[in-house]
Amino acid sequence: MKRLIRFSFIAACITLITVLCISKQATAQTQTKVKKQIVPGEQAPPADPGQKNFGGPRPAVGAGGQRPAIRQPRPESKIQTVSLDEISMSDPYIYPDEKSHTYYLTGTGGRLYKSKDLKMWTGPFPIIDLTGTWMDGLFVAAAEIHHIGNKYYYAGTWSDHSTLIQAVPRRYNVPRNQTQLLVADSPEGPFKPLVADHEFCLGPEDWDIIDGTLYEEKDTTYLVFVHEWTQLIDGTMDYIPLSKDLTHRTAEPTTIFRASEAAWSKEMNTISEATFGLKMPGWVTDGPEMFRTKTGKLGMLWSSWGEHRYAQGIAYSTSGSIRGPWVQEQEAFKGDNSGHGMLFTTFDGKRLYAVHHVEGDGPRKPQLYEVNDSGDKLVLGLRYNP
């Protein structure tokens, strides 16, 4: 009888402990789902009248740290065929699809153009469906198309300015920016979220993440992305390894390098550049794009702000791996208010560099250049006119 009583007492204790543990876990999970309300703080000084400024002023923050999401519903553009010179687009990305023998152009704005000869382009086509997610109706930046396995993936950055993730004192009220992945069976879409959960974020939710790109190395796919300078002051390039199905990260971010490591990258206030109507100090990272030369040298195209405004630079990995170490080129690869470039190979084997360029106060326009990648370093060639 004593043994039975003792056994019953032990069993009851185990049950109680189990219930308490489950309750504690459930409470912790519930707590993690409750978003912390960020109280907006004092921002950096406003730009001087007439000062150079990228991005325009942001909407004022209202009570409770909220401000209107930057939702830009717009009528669908008329589908037409135009030359590349007639297209205005930031952050151009060209995917050459071998199956259809078609070039696909996308970028900031999330529309798609297609071409058979790189000269005349038909579009813009709407190709994404974000129904049921926090991104629905929001503007997409720096979009890319990647083919992995038997699927096409659309990497883009969405910004929700109604949700703050941090208020950096006397600097910036940081909104939610995240690079997310969409998936489709065709490069023409429709692309839908790879993870359909409404609040899902591929990167850490308290990080300001933009301009993500996909890179494969030794059976692992990495998301290489920008951790914004607006949050950090000295912007970084980072990577996270992804699961086989690309639905989640398998480790926390690793920093590759900081913007200030490149001699050609200039501190914004020293070159009188304002951002979002504010004089924020710091160094910018933008637009990572991984590539290898024909000798196997691993490089990264990336952008910042330099002596002539926007600039394209290159860093190289001395180990040949994403883990680096990474060494910056001393001079900008293209420093004439051009940047956010990428490389692709034409169907006849020519290596080309796509980049956006601004002439004077005009719009950002995609341009193509020939490049030589036969050695250990990428060499910029002449403007390419198909």
Domain spans in the chain, listed from the N-terminal domain onward: 31-383
Check: pTM over 0.75? Answer yes or no: yes
- What integer pLDDT is reported at residue 23 of this predicted model? 40
Q: Taking the CA of residue 288 as centre, how many other CA atoms within 13 Å lie in the half-sphere pointing to its CB?
A: 35
* HSE of 201, CA atoms in CB hemisphere, 13 A: 18
Q: Are strands 52-54 and 273-275 parallel, antiparallel or unpaired?
A: parallel
Give the number of other CB atoms < 10 A from CB of residue 200.
17
Tell me the C-alpha distance between 377 and 316, whole Å.
Answer: 8
User: For every one of its 386 residues, what pLDDT tens digit does the chain have, with 9 covering 90 and above?
Assistant: 444 444 444 444 444 444 344 343 333 333 344 467 899 999 999 999 999 999 877 655 544 445 555 555 556 779 999 999 999 999 999 999 999 999 999 999 999 999 999 999 999 999 999 999 999 999 999 999 999 999 999 999 999 999 999 999 999 999 999 999 999 999 999 999 999 999 999 999 999 999 999 999 999 999 999 999 999 999 999 999 999 999 999 999 999 999 999 999 999 999 999 999 999 999 999 999 999 999 999 999 999 999 999 999 999 999 999 999 999 999 999 999 999 999 999 999 999 999 999 998 889 999 999 999 999 999 999 999 98
The predicted structure's pLDDT at residue 8: 47
The pLDDT, as a whole number, for residue 69 is 55
User: What is the structure's pLDDT at 68?
Assistant: 55
**CATH annotation of 31-383:** 2.115.10.20
> Given this model, what pLDDT does residue 20 score?
42
- Maximal C-alpha separation, the chain: 94
